[in-house]
Amino acid sequence: MIGMLKEWYRRYANDPQIIILFAILVVGFVLVLTMGDMLAPVIAAIVIAYLLEGLINVLERLKVSRMIALVTVFTLFLAGMVAVIVFFLPLLSRQIAEMFQELPALMANGQKQLMRLPERYPELIAQEQISQFISFLKFEITQWGQHLVSISIASVRGLITVVVYLILVPLLIFFFLKDKTKILGWLKLFLPKNTRLAAEVWHEVNQQIANYVRGKIWEILIVWTAAYALFAALGLKFAVLISLAVGLSVLAPYIGATLMFFPVALVAFFQWGLSPSFTWIVVGYLILQALDGNLLAPLLLSEVVDLHPVAIIVALLVFGGIWGMWGLFFAIPLATLVHAVLKTWFRYMKEKNPPATEEPHPA
């Protein structure tokens, strides 16, 4: 065993290129794991600046000076942020207040609909099962309500944090865009001169991550809009709130679509029972998810490295558990990064230690 470790160290751990490559990866993960919450506004600003940089590059290719392109793109970003705060957030808050007002009546109607199921399907559902399910739902909703009350008690602190973020994040975005060259030059001071492998990984991953983030944002907006149009057309209650959750569920491929089916079906059942409207909502939701998974996502994310579904699910579980919502959003880019590091490492070691060619046997 000790001999194997010595051989592994001789081949890999004493190579500066390998050490640099994995040190960058480890330091990044340690920072996210230990300081992710504190650095959340900085990380959010880096992500948004990264996206806006693509628009600035488009304007620069049209012979627009960088400063004019920067001011134009940043102004459009601020206008969009103000529009969300002024128009969308009040609509969302009204929907949440409406949900709390109508929840008791909706629960009573849902309980009535559930109690009818044993009469309709006695061979499938027993009265005792329905009673247990209703008790479970009441317990979960009570726990959820207590959690929301605890959040509202700490709302003053949360409101102050949101206000600070609304001021701090745009400032960080502006300086990241304006002083991009200076910041990158400063970071390079901490790296050794020979970072060929790290540069290879960056060039390989950069375009995939950019395409993934931009494509995923478009996917969220399109699925959200389509879900809202479907739910509003069929008269489902809390259409804005539920469609937003459906849109955000695309952050977790396979898992999100499955999890969101239950609240959509539950609200529809509590509102209408087993009726044609309930069937239309369920069928419409399944069609929407099928179109997203088989048409929209492949179209928007066609240039992203194709990871196996098992790798995607493992990445979602690992990075989501470590980093919450941000982890879900960046699970696939981070998995792509790890894959690129390993691939570059193996390619480098193969070039460094080519397999010995067999000598021809004497005749």
Give the span between the Cα atoms of 157 and 223, in whole angstroms.
33
Any residues with CB less than 8 A from the CB of 141 and at least 6 apart, and which?
A: 103, 107
Task: Give the tens place of pLDDT for each residue, 93-139.
Answer: 787 777 777 777 877 777 787 777 777 777 777 777 777 777 777 77
Task: Give the tens place of pLDDT for each residue, 29-77.
Answer: 777 677 666 777 887 888 788 888 888 888 988 988 989 999 999 999 9
How many Cβ atoms from other residues are within 10 Å of residue 256's Cβ? 20
Flag whether pLDDT at 79 surpasses 60.
Answer: yes
Give the span between the Cα atoms of 312 and 293, in whole angstroms.
14
Task: Give the tens place of pLDDT for each residue, 313-351.
Answer: 787 788 777 777 667 777 777 777 777 777 777 776 666
Angle, helices 255-272 vs 276-291, to 10°: value is 160
Task: Give the tens place of pLDDT for each residue, 272-285.
Answer: 888 888 899 999 99
Give the span between the Cα atoms of 261 and 277, in whole angstroms.
16
pLDDT at 174: 92
> Is residue 352 within 8 Å of 361, Cβ to Cβ?
no
pLDDT at 46: 82
> Is residue 205 within 8 Å of 343, Cβ to Cβ?
no
- HEC readout, the chain: CHHHHHHHHHHHHCCHHHHHHHHHHHHHHHHHHHHCCCCHHHHHHHHHHHHHHHHHHHHHHCCCCHHHHHHHHHHHHHHHHHHHHHHHHHHHHHHHHHHHHHHHHHHHHHHHHHHHHHHHCCCCCCHHHHHHHHHHHHHHHHHHHHHHHHHHHCHHHHHHHHHHHHHHHHHHHHHHHHCHHHHHHHHHCCCCCCCHHHHHHHHHHHHHHHHHHHHHHHHHHHHHHHHHHHHHHHCCCCHHHHHHHHHHHHHCCCHHHHHHHHHHHHHHHHHHCCCHHHHHHHHHHHHHHHHHHHHHHHHHCCCCCCCCHHHHHHHHHHHHHHHHHHHHHHHHHHHHHHHHHHHHHHHHHHHHCCCCCCCCCCC
Flag whether pLDDT at 265 surpasses 70.
Answer: yes
- Give domain limits for the chain: 36-195, 203-348
Residue 121 has phi, psi (to 5 degrees) of -130, 65
Any residues with CB less than 8 A from the CB of 81 and at least 6 apart, and which?
A: 166, 170
Q: Percent of the chain, pLDDT > 70?
A: 73
pLDDT at 348: 66
> Is residue 336 within 8 Å of 212, Cβ to Cβ?
yes
Among 106, 120, 112, 114, smallest CA distance to 132 is for: 114
Across the chain, mean pLDDT equals 77
> First-to-last CA distance in the chain?
41
pLDDT at 18: 64
Reported as half-sphere exposure (CB side, CA atoms, 13 A), residue 13 has a value of: 7
**Torsion sign across C-alpha atoms 76, 66, 49, 172:** negative
Our CA dihedral for 202, 203, 207, 212, rounded to 10 degrees, sits at -30
Give the span between the Cα atoms of 204 and 117, in whole angstroms.
56
The one-letter amino acid code at 171 reads L
pLDDT at 363: 46
